[in-house]
Amino acid sequence: MNTPLEIVIERRDGVAVLTLNAPQRRNSLTEAMAGELLDACAEIDADPTIGAVVVRGAGGYFCSGGDRTTLASVGASPAKDDAFRVLGRIYDSFRRVGSLLPPTIAAVEGGAVGAGLNLAMATDIRIISADARLMSGFMPIGLHPGGGHVTLVGRAGGREVTNAMVLFGESLTGLDCVNQGLAWEALPADEVFDRAMELAARAAADPDLSRRVARSTRLELGAPAISWDAALELERASQMWSMQRKNDA
Q: How confident is the model at residue 231 (pLDDT cuts 50, 70, 90)?
A: confident
Percentage of the chain exceeding pLDDT 90: 73
Q: Look at residue 153 and tell me whether its pLDDT is greater than 80.
A: yes
Instruction: With respect to residue 133, please indicate whether it lies within any of the assigned structural domains.
Output: yes
Residue 122 makes CB contacts below 8 A (sequence gap 6+) with: 94, 95, 97, 98, 104, 106, 152
Read off the pLDDT of residues 39-53 as tens digits, 9 standing for 90 and up: 999 999 999 999 999
Instruction: With respect to residue 2, please indicate whether it lies within any of the assigned structural domains.
Output: no
Domains contained in the chain, number = 1
Q: Is residue 126 helix, strand or coil? A: strand
pTM of the predicted protein model:
0.90
- The predicted pLDDT at position 223 comes to 59
Q: Is residue 90 helix, strand or coil? A: helix
Higher-confidence residue: 239 or 164? 164
Q: How confident is the model at residue 73 (pLDDT cuts 50, 70, 90)?
A: confident
Read off the pLDDT of residues 92-148 as tens digits, 9 standing for 90 and up: 999 999 999 999 999 999 999 999 999 999 999 999 999 999 999 999 999 999 999
Instruction: With respect to residue 103, please indicate whether it lies within any of the assigned structural domains.
Output: yes
Instruction: With respect to residue 147, please indicate whether it lies within any of the assigned structural domains.
Output: yes
C-alpha 71, offset from chain centre: 17
In which element (H, E) is residue 142 found? Answer: none
In angstroms, the CA 23 to CA 66 distance is 14
Instruction: With respect to residue 1, please indicate whether it lies within any of the assigned structural domains.
Output: no
Closest CA to 93 of 169, 41, 129: 41
CATH code at position 96: 3.90.226.10
In angstroms, the CA 14 to CA 197 distance is 11
What is the end-to-end Cα distance of the chain in Å, rounded?
40
Query: Facing residues of 248 across strands?
Result: none
Instruction: With respect to residue 174, please indicate whether it lies within any of the assigned structural domains.
Output: yes
Instruction: With respect to residue 19, please indicate whether it lies within any of the assigned structural domains.
Output: yes
- The predicted pLDDT at position 222 comes to 65
Q: What angle do CA 107, 111, 114 make, to 5 degrees?
A: 105
Instruction: With respect to residue 74, please indicate whether it lies within any of the assigned structural domains.
Output: yes
Closest CA to 71 of 111, 109, 116: 116
Range of the domain at 37: 7-248
In angstroms, the CA 26 to CA 23 distance is 5
Q: Is residue 88 helix, strand or coil? A: helix
